Amino acid sequence: MPFYVSPEQAMRDKADYARKGIARGRSCVALQYAGGILMVAPNPSSALHKISEIYDRIAFAAVGRYNEYENLRKAGVTYADITGYQFDRHDVTARGIANWYAQTLGTIFTESNKPFEVEIVVAEVGTQPGDDQIYRITFDGSVTDEPGFVAFGGQADQVSAALKERYSEGMSLAEAFSAALDALAAPANGERNEVATSLEVAVLERAREHRTFRRIRAARLEELIAESRAARSAAADSPDADSPDAATSDAAATSGAAATSDAAATSGEAGSPASTPGPATSADPTPPAASEPPTGPPTGPDAGSTDRGSGVGGPPAGPPL
């Protein structure tokens, strides 16, 4: 009799096996910027690509076992070409390809003894930023729509948290690349300099006609890395006024000034005549003019003046009415 394993335990074992295999690699990121969608992946190999083109405005990125996601990439290209030939090129969308990948991976995960150790991202750039689409497909066939940015593979949770702090809508290409580089250098994913030396970078440019996919290599990649380092050093040299150190110094200065003023007020009260025993004396022998008694009866406002009924100068002359 074969050894019995419950379906729940079998699915759990497959999922753990696939997660461990995917976590051994490094994370990749895909994020929107003002001109399209940027994809960045640490990849020391120049022959084996993690990021590729599937169709006119659709790109593919994956992590995990190369032979497995390369077979999926080729199958996705074939599916897109056949769909565009049979119907229309506009009928080929990232949503349709993502659903096809989800069905394929779900079938493999359920029926095969060994699941695919891959995570896939399918991105499509639209004519406007609101039309951009980024889909993440996991090893068990789950599909999630990721607005703005996504980190997948490896230590995806830490990279995603770091990318969330640095991402903002409408960034330029240099700003988006700097944010992606900082996120990829998150703890347990690699140092920043180590990540920058082996990168595979590609973009879907919104302004390009027909085929929007373009790889960034050599000179242009070096320019982006230099701009990212310059921006990072400039931010480190000029501390923000709202930083915790500046706030601490401001609070210390304020508390010091308050303590000085309180001490001055306390010393003034201690040396005032009210705290000195004996008769009060004044430094000025001449009493103030306000303390002199009036020389005559109080008078009201002058005749013809506009100060009526205000009581300035005392009550009106004569008996009350």
Q: What pLDDT does residue 60 have?
A: 97
Cα 137 to chain centroid distance, Å, stands at 23
Q: What pLDDT does residue 267 have?
A: 47
Written as one letter, the residue type at 73 is: R
Give the SS3 label for residue 62.
strand
Taking Cα atoms as reference points, which of 163, 141, 166, 169 lies closest to residue 150? 163
Q: Which helix (H) or strand (E) holds 66?
A: helix 66-86
CA dist list (Å): 156 to 46, 166, 188, 193, 211:
23, 15, 10, 19, 30
Q: What pLDDT does residue 231 have?
A: 75
Distance CA 57, CA 105 (A): 23
Q: What is the pTM of this model?
A: 0.71
Q: What pLDDT does residue 5 have?
A: 86
How many Cβ atoms are within 10 Å of 201's Cβ, its own excluded?
21
Written as one letter, the residue type at 99 is: N
Helices 173-184 and 156-166, axial angle in degrees (round to 10): 140
Q: What pLDDT does residue 313 have?
A: 47
Mean pLDDT, the chain cut into blocks of 10 residues (321 residues total): 84 95 92 96 90 96 95 96 94 96 96 94 95 96 94 92 93 93 76 72 94 92 86 68 47 48 47 43 46 47 45 46 41
Q: What pLDDT does residue 46 have?
A: 84
Tokens representing 76 are 């996705």
DSSP state of 232: H
Distance CA 315, CA 296 (A): 13
Distance CA 25, CA 118 (A): 10
